[in-house]
């Protein structure tokens, strides 16, 4: 098997896709090079081998793999309860128990 690419495309810029060859060229280049980042009308959020899984969050005209810790720090304000709740529901459907860590009380912290 080969590689798969996940892209987030902005619907409000869809007319540009048909009017310009730049989108197709940029997307093809990103797919061939397995390169994440901005493309005309969107962003390539993930690229990986077809035998593996790519779990991606799309939000705010961008996207990122949920297993990349650096994006947690960059987009911590964007990864809202909706994405977290959807991931928890998926895990629970598959037999996992999901419990949010409780914050230590002031007297426990220190």
Please give the tally of structural domains in the chain: 1
pLDDT of residue 101: 81
The confidence band for 10, taking pLDDT boundaries of 50, 70 and 90, is very high
What would the two tokens of residue 83 be? 């994405």
Residue 108 resides in a domain = no
The confidence band for 17, taking pLDDT boundaries of 50, 70 and 90, is confident
State the average pLDDT over residues 12-23.
85
The confidence band for 24, taking pLDDT boundaries of 50, 70 and 90, is confident
Domain that holds residue 88: 3-101
Q: Mean pLDDT score of the chain, rounded to an integer? A: 85
Residue 106 resides in a domain = no
Residue 109 resides in a domain = no
The confidence band for 1, taking pLDDT boundaries of 50, 70 and 90, is low
User: How confident is the model over 45-78, as pLDDT tens digits?
Assistant: 999 999 999 999 888 888 888 877 766 666 665 6
Residue 94 resides in a domain = yes
Give kind and range of the element (H or E) at residue 108: helix 106-109
How many Å apart are CA 9 and CA 63, to the nearest integer?
10
The confidence band for 80, taking pLDDT boundaries of 50, 70 and 90, is confident
């Amino acid at each position: 098997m080969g590689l798969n690419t996940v892209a987030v495309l902005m619907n409000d810029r869809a007319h540009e896709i048909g009017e310009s060859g730049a989108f197709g060229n940029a997307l093809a280049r990103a797919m061939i090079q397995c390169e994440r980042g901005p493309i005309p009308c969107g962003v390539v959020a993930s690229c990986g081998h077809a035998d593996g899984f790519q779990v991606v969050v799309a939000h705010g005209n961008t996207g990122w793999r949920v297993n990349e810790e650096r994006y947690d720090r960059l987009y911590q304000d964007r990864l809202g309860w909706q994405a977290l709740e959807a991931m928890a529901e998926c895990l629970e459907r598959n037999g996992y128990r999901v419990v949010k860590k409780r914050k230590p009380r002031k007297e426990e912290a220190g």
